[in-house]
Structure 1
Amino acid sequence: MNSLTGLDDYQLSVRALSDRIVEAQTPIRVLDAVKWDDGIREGFLKHKGKKLPAVDRAYYASRPLGFDATAKKQEFQSIERDITRQLGQFNPVGQIMRRMCREYRMVIRMLEARGTEDFGLISQDLYGAASDAFHAGDPTLADLGLMFSDYLNNIDRRGDLEDEPKNLNAKQAVDLLQHRLNKVFGEAEDTIRVFESDGILADAAAGADYIKIRSDALFNERDVKALEVHEGLVHVGTTLNGLNQPICTFLAKGPPSSTVTQEGLAILMEVITFASYPTRLRKLTNRTRTIHMAEEGADFLQVFEFYREQGFDMEVSYSNASRVFRGSTPNGLPFTKDLSYLKGFIMVYNYIQLAVRKGKLEQIPLLFSGKTTLEDMRTLRQLVDEGLVVPPKYLPPQFQDLNALSAWMCFSNFLNHLSLDRIEADYANIL
């Protein structure tokens, strides 16, 4: 924990309230609380994918949360009252912390509602819905998913853009990823570690200061590059920057509103480092499309069949479909967290574009100060000026070089004003 030496009374008050939020949220584990166990998967596969998974309200009731939900909501309510009492109604950092308390109370209500319709409704309040528009008159997330699918189908029809073979084993991937991350984070023991693990389902998983690689997984260099920028430079990097905060320690922890910003940053990093590729984009697009299907009334079997028709085997199709309905029931409203990737990408990209257009380049690196939320960025700038927040210690090279980033965004700003439909008609004879 960061030292309290040299802080004045006001800073000590903010730090104490911030630490209380960090402490209070510790036992809340959303993904652990909503996931389905192996028995559900085995039962579904035993019935050859013809019967809905055996998940209902009672199933979740048999898997307690690990904390007293009522007491935990009261704890956040008490912290929120103390923030107002000690800092005042309009104090900027107090407004951020109060919103976090309200979000965590909403998260707890969502977890209490596992297996009911309220679960999906609260999920939409926290993470959004596929039918949400980005701005008035703009396409929705569901529209974006269909648009991307059309582009990807055109690419697929070429037939010559196959994924590179996975020729790296876990140990080789660990060594290569550690080497790349050391260039940004240094080689000190207290920065970031990469190691093999047997106990994870995904190919890789990030923690506060580490990335675990599944021991039996295979990778190629593009996979490692994606892990470097997505899990390492963004997720672990922002956690370490949050842990480096001497006063606003809450920046090391992310409520749902920060998930959208964090995943958006991670996907943006994949794009601007050329680490993304059509198969990866298809995965994100499919998540958005299947959440929209479930919002429109599709059940688990219909989402499962969607993945089967895309050529995935039964186990992968089950795994993908279960992401949509975890926390809910197989014919209930979806868990919408996976909208964060594309939604966050568009929102963060737009934010950076506007920052360049308005000449506010100094605000862009602050996205990496911790688990930040877009709506707090102006306040965060103010908190840096006040000395309550320190600028990020660890920044991806692409965000250290604001010259190159701003030049790219200037071109992008101009290109946005061109009509692609008109260009397509004009270029018909040369393309």
Structure 2
Amino acid sequence: MNSHTGLDDYQLIVRALSDRLVEAQTPIRVLDAVKWDDSIRSEFLKHKGKKLPAVDRAYYASRPLPFDAAAKKLEFQNIERDITRQLGQFNPVGKIMRRMCREYRMVIRMLEARGTEDFGLISQELYGAASDAFHAGDPTLADLGLMFSDFLNNIDKRGDLKDEAKTLTAKEAVNLLQQRLNKVFGEAQDTIRVFESDGILADAAAGADYIKIRADAMFNERDVKALEVHEGLVHVATTLNGLNQPVCTFLAKGPPSSTVTQEGLAILMEVIAFASYPTRLRKLTNRTRAIHMAEEGADFLQVFDFYCEQGFSQEESYSNANRVFRGSTPTGMPFTKDLSYLKGFIMVYNYIQLAVRKGKLEQIPLLFCGKTTLEDMRSLRQLVDEGLVVAPKYLPPQFSDLNSLSAWMCFSNFLNHLSLDRIEADYANIL
């Protein structure tokens, strides 16, 4: 962490409160608390996916949280009180920290409710629901998922956009990714490590200064590029920028609201770096559709079958269905964290588009100054002006030079006003 030297009295107060917030959230590990162990998986696959996994309220009770939930909620309550006491009701940095305290308390309530209906309801409050609209009268996330599926099916029928074979082992992917990240992070290259790991569900996962690659997964060059952009240029970069904050140390840690911004930024980066591709988009679309199915009453077996019908193996279909029901029960409401990708993408894209339209370009790189949340962006601008927050040190090239992004958004702003149905009718003779 940075030293406290050179901070004035006000900055020291903010720093002390921020450090308390970071310290308090340390033992809260949402994904660890909701995951199912391997015995559930092997039992399910043994029955060839015909029998619901044996997960209920008692299963979670046998895996207690690594902290005292009541004491932890009280700790956040006390930090929130002290923030108001020391900074006042309307202080911008105080407002951000108070919201984080409330959010962490809600996270603890969600984890206490594992295996009950409340788990799914609180998850929807934190991460949203597939049936939420973006704006009045706009399509929902579920609509977006279905629309994307239609486009992807049209692309699939062509047959010439098949993925390259996955010929890179985890070890080769680690080496390739490490080389690429060393180029990006230059002086921080000692701190960003890429290594193989056994205990992860996804193909890769990012930590504060590392990226883990699943040891038994296979990759192609396109996968490695997506990991470089998604995990490296966004997740690791924003963590490092947060750790680089001398006063607002809380920016290194993200509550659920920042997950939406984080994943949205990561998907946007994949798109503008041309690192995304139809199969990857299908994965995100399927996650949204699977969550919507569970919200509508589908159980684990139905979501498992949905994935099998999409051509996934039983093992893959189990892992995918598991993402939807972890923390809940096989017949309960879904854990909606995986909506963050598409939801965040739309929200971040709209934010950047508006920033360009209103000529507030200086707002855009601030998305990277740590684990930020969209609703805090105006306050963050004030905090940068006050010297409480430092501008991000690590920025993807697309965000450090906003020329191309601004031009793209200007075109995109105009194109959004054209009627696609009209265009389709007019272009019918030439396409």
Shorter chain as denominator, the TM-score bin is: over 0.9
Structure 1 residue 59: deviation in Å?
Answer: 0.4
Structure 1 residue 170: deviation in Å?
Answer: 2.2
Cα distance change of structure 1 residues 198 and 55 upon mapping to structure 2, 3 Å threshold? closer
Cα distance change of structure 1 residues 293 and 113 upon mapping to structure 2, 3 Å threshold? same
Partner Cα separation in structure 1 for residue 391 and residue 190 of structure 2: 19
Partner Cα separation in structure 2 for residue 26 and residue 224 of structure 1: 30
Check conservation: 1:365, 1:392, Cα contact below 8 A: yes
Q: TM-score, normalised by structure 1?
A: 0.99
Structure 1 residue 188: deviation in Å?
Answer: 4.1
Structure 1 residue 196: deviation in Å?
Answer: 2.4
Report the equivalent of 1:346.
Answer: 346
Percent sequence identity is 90
Give secondary structure in 2 for the equivalent of 1:196. strand
Structure 1 residue 217: deviation in Å?
Answer: 2.4
Check conservation: 2:69, 2:108, Cα contact below 8 A: yes
Give secondary structure in 1 for the equivalent of 2:211. strand
Structure 1 residue 182: deviation in Å?
Answer: 1.5
Q: Deviations over 1:364-401 (max 9, x none)?
A: 00000000000000000000000000000000011011
Structure 1 residue 192: deviation in Å?
Answer: 1.3
Does residue 195 of structure 2 align to residue 195 of structure 1? Answer: yes
Structure 1 stretches (4+) deviating beyond 6 angstroms?
Answer: none
Structure 1 residue 216: deviation in Å?
Answer: 3.1
Partner Cα separation in structure 1 for residue 136 and residue 308 of structure 2: 35
Check conservation: 1:185, 1:191, Cα contact below 8 A: no
Structure 1 residue 189: deviation in Å?
Answer: 5.1
Partner Cα separation in structure 2 for residue 149 and residue 337 of structure 1: 20
Partner Cα separation in structure 1 for residue 269 and residue 155 of structure 2: 22
Q: Deviations over 1:77-121 (max 9, x none)?
A: 000000000000000000000000000000000000000000000
Partner Cα separation in structure 2 for residue 188 and residue 368 of structure 1: 16
Report the equivalent of 2:253.
Answer: 253
Partner Cα separation in structure 2 for residue 188 and residue 46 of structure 1: 46
Unpaired segments of 5 or more residues in structure 2? Answer: none
Partner Cα separation in structure 1 for residue 393 and residue 412 of structure 2: 28
Check conservation: 1:237, 1:368, Cα contact below 8 A: yes
Give the aligned length.
431
Structure 1 residue 187: deviation in Å?
Answer: 4.7
Give secondary structure in 1 for the equivalent of 2:5. coil
Check conservation: 1:300, 1:325, Cα contact below 8 A: yes
Check conservation: 2:182, 2:189, Cα contact below 8 A: no
Check conservation: 2:170, 2:196, Cα contact below 8 A: yes
What is the CA RMSD across the aligned residues, in angstroms? Answer: 0.9
Structure 1 residue 215: deviation in Å?
Answer: 2.8
Partner Cα separation in structure 1 for residue 214 and residue 123 of structure 2: 30
Report the equivalent of 1:309.
Answer: 309
Check conservation: 2:196, 2:215, Cα contact below 8 A: yes
Q: TM-score, normalised by structure 2?
A: 0.99
Partner Cα separation in structure 1 for residue 313 and residue 390 of structure 2: 48
Deviates more, 1:165-174 or 1:243-252: 165-174
Check conservation: 2:201, 2:319, Cα contact below 8 A: no
Structure 1 residue 267: deviation in Å?
Answer: 0.3
Partner Cα separation in structure 1 for residue 167 and residue 418 of structure 2: 42
Structure 1 residue 76: deviation in Å?
Answer: 0.1
Check conservation: 2:35, 2:326, Cα contact below 8 A: yes
Partner Cα separation in structure 2 for residue 38 and residue 195 of structure 1: 22
Give secondary structure in 1 for the equivalent of 2:22. helix
Q: Deviations over 1:152-198 (max 9, x none)?
A: 01011111211011122223212221121122211545431112233
Does residue 191 of structure 2 align to residue 186 of structure 1? Answer: no
Deviates more, 1:63-72 or 1:211-220: 211-220
Check conservation: 1:44, 1:52, Cα contact below 8 A: yes
Q: Deviations over 1:282-309 (max 9, x none)?
A: 0000000010011011111110110111
